[in-house]
Amino acid sequence: MMVARHLCRIPSIVCQSVLQTSRITPSCIKDLSKHHVSSLVCGLSVLDVSRRFSSISKGSPLSPLPPSSPSTLKSSPLSPSPQTNASSSEDDAKREAQWRSMKIGFYVIGASTGALLAYFIYQYGPPQKDENGKIIEDEFMGLPLVQQYSKRIWNQLVTYNKMIKEPSRDKLLPDPVPFPYYQPPYTLLLEFRDLLVHPEWTYNTGWRFKKRPFVDEFFETLNGSATDRNNVPLFEVVIFTSESGLSIAPIIDALDKEQKYFYFKLFRDSTEFIDGHHVKNLHLLNRDLNKVIAVDWNPNSVSKNRENALVVPPWKGNDDDRTLVDLAVFLRTIAVNGVDDVREVMMYYSQFDDPIEAFNQNQIKLREQMKELQSPQVSRFGSSLSSWFKR
C-alpha cells in the first residue's frame, strides 16, 4: 500500500513509462476499474519501479507526451523573437537616454538655484554701506551672523513681493492744478491694447501695432475742438494700461507724437496683482471718483471699481469698426450735460454686454420721442396759420 501511495504521486510521464513496461494499452485501461488499476499498480515490483526511476535520472529517452490542449498552449510562455529583443533593447536605450537628460536637467536646476542663493547671500546678506563705504547699522546688527544674513535676505524678498503685488506709489496722479490754471472737469482712463491699438504679427514685419479707426477724431473730440464753445478739453485723458511700460511706452509715444492727447501714462507698476490679474485701483488716483470714467475691455482689470468702469468688447483689428465714434458721442453727452456723478450712468450701462450699442439704441428712441413731441406742436401751428389766412 505504501508503494501504491507513492506511485500515485509519480508524474504522468513516469506513470506512462510504467504502463508501457507492463504492456498495457490505453484501450485496455478503459475497460479496467479503479480496483483493477490499483491492483495492477501494486503488483509491479519495486525493482521495476526503481529501474525506471534510475533510467529516467540517467537521461534515457522518454516516450512522447500526449499533445497539449489549447488552453495549455495559450498559457505556456513563448520564446521571444529577435524582433522583440530588438524593440525591447531600443526601449531600454530610450529610457536610459531620458534618464540621462533628466539627470542633466536636475543638475542644471540645482546649479542655478545654488548660484541664485549664493548671489542673494552675497548681495543682500551683509549690511548696507553708504557712499563712503561705511556700514549702515540696521535692526539686525545685534543678532548672530547667520540670523543677520537670513533676516536681511527675507526682508528683501518681502520687499520684492510687495513691489510685484502693490502699486509703486500711493498717489498715482499729481494734485489737480489750482485756479487760475485749467483743470478738465472729468478724468478719463483708457486701456491701450485692444482699445486704441491692436497687436498683429506677420512673417514679413513681425509684431506691429495697428491703430484703431477714428482714433485721431476721438481724441480731437475729447480735447474740445469739436465739443465745447470755448475750445477747452472736457476730459483729462490718462492712459492706464496693464502692459509693461518698457514695451508699450514707445507705442504710446508714436500714437501721440505731438504730446497733445494724453495728460499722464500709468503702466503695470501702478496696478495691484490680485489672483493672477493686474487690477487698477482707482482709489489711488488722487481724483474725485464722481468724475472718473475707466474704459476697459477686461472686467478683471476694473474689478475694484466696477461702478466707475465702462467695459466694452475688445477690438480685434477689423477696419469697419466705428466704436470710437460712438464712444466719443457717449462721453461728450456726459460732459456737456455736466453729470454730477458718472457712476450712476456707468452702473446703468454695465448691465449690457455692449454698452455703446445700448447707448446708440437709447439715442434712437430718444430722437423718435422728440419727433413725436414736436409733431403735435407743428400741426397746431399749421392749423392756426390756416385759420388766420382764412379771415
* pLDDT at 24 (0 to 100): 46
Taken as a whole, the chain contains a residue count of: 391
pLDDT in tens, 47-99: 444 444 444 444 444 444 455 444 444 444 445 566 667 777 888 888 888 89
Q: Which residues make beta-bridge pairs with 277?
A: 274
Which of 187, 190, 208, 191 lies closest to 199, judged by CA? 208
Provide mean pLDDT across the span 224-240. Answer: 75
Q: Is the pLDDT of residue 286 over 90?
A: yes
Q: Is the pLDDT of residue 41 over 60?
A: no
> What value, to the nearest 5°, has the Cα angle with vertex 390 and ends 384 and 391?
95
- The C-alpha cell at 220 is 480731437
The domain made up of 186-351 has a fold known as Rossmann fold (3.40.50)
Q: Is the pLDDT of residue 292 over 70?
A: yes
What is the spatial distance between Cα 363 and Cα 111, in angstroms, rounded to a whole number? Answer: 66
Q: Mapping DSSP to helix (H, G, I), strand (E, B) and coil, where does residue 128 land?
A: coil
2 or 199, which is more confident: 199
Q: Name the band, by pLDDT with cuts 50, 70 and 90, for residue 379.
A: low
Provide mean pLDDT across the span 170-176. Answer: 95
pTM above 0.75, yes or no: no
Q: Is the pLDDT of residue 331 over 90?
A: yes
Q: Is the pLDDT of residue 116 over 90?
A: no
What is the spatial distance between Cα 165 and Cα 271, in angstroms, rounded to a whole number? Answer: 8
* pLDDT at 113 (0 to 100): 92
* pLDDT at 117 (0 to 100): 85
Which of 18, 5, 78 lies closest to 53, judged by CA? 18
Q: Name the band, by pLDDT with cuts 50, 70 and 90, for residue 231.
A: confident
What is the spatial distance between Cα 281 and Cα 259, in angstroms, rounded to a whole number? Answer: 26
359 or 121, which is more confident: 359
Residues 299, 300, 301, 307: is their CA dihedral positive or negative? Answer: positive
Which of 187, 185, 183 lies closest to 172, judged by CA? 187
Provide mean pLDDT across the span 212-241. Answer: 83
User: Are β-strands 272-274 and 277-279 bridged in parallel, bridged antiparallel, or unpaired?
Assistant: antiparallel
Mean pLDDT of the chain: 79
- Percentage of the chain exceeding pLDDT 70: 72
Alpha helices for the chain (secondary structure H): 2-8, 12-21, 26-31, 34-43, 46-57, 70-75, 82-124, 145-165, 215-222, 245-255, 323-336, 342-349, 355-390
| Terminal alpha carbon distance of the chain | 154
Q: Mapping DSSP to helix (H, G, I), strand (E, B) and coil, where does residue 126 land?
A: coil
| Contact of 44 with 18, CB cutoff 8 Å | yes
155 or 13, which is more confident: 155
| Contact of 255 with 197, CB cutoff 8 Å | yes
Q: Name the band, by pLDDT with cuts 50, 70 and 90, for residue 381.
A: very low
What is the spatial distance between Cα 23 and Cα 46, in angstroms, rounded to a whole number? Answer: 17
Provide mean pLDDT across the span 296-324. Answer: 96
| Contact of 63 with 16, CB cutoff 8 Å | yes
What is the spatial distance between Cα 354 and Cα 194, in angstroms, rounded to a whole number? Answer: 15
Q: Is the pLDDT of residue 165 over 50?
A: yes
Q: Is the pLDDT of residue 128 over 90?
A: no
Q: Is the pLDDT of residue 367 over 80?
A: yes
Amino acid at 239: I
Q: Mapping DSSP to helix (H, G, I), strand (E, B) and coil, where does residue 9 land?
A: coil
* pLDDT at 79 (0 to 100): 54
* pLDDT at 155 (0 to 100): 85
DSSP 8-state class, residue 69: P
Annotated domain spans of the chain: 2-59, 118-165, 186-351
116-130, 191-205, 245-259, 261-275: which has the minimum mean pLDDT?
116-130
Q: Is the pLDDT of residue 276 over 60?
A: yes
Q: Name the band, by pLDDT with cuts 50, 70 and 90, for residue 199.
A: very high
CA distances (Å), origin 240, targets 9, 258, 272: 93, 19, 13
229 or 122, which is more confident: 122
* pLDDT at 364 (0 to 100): 92
> How far does CA 335 lie from the centroid of its chain?
39
Amino acid at 20: Q
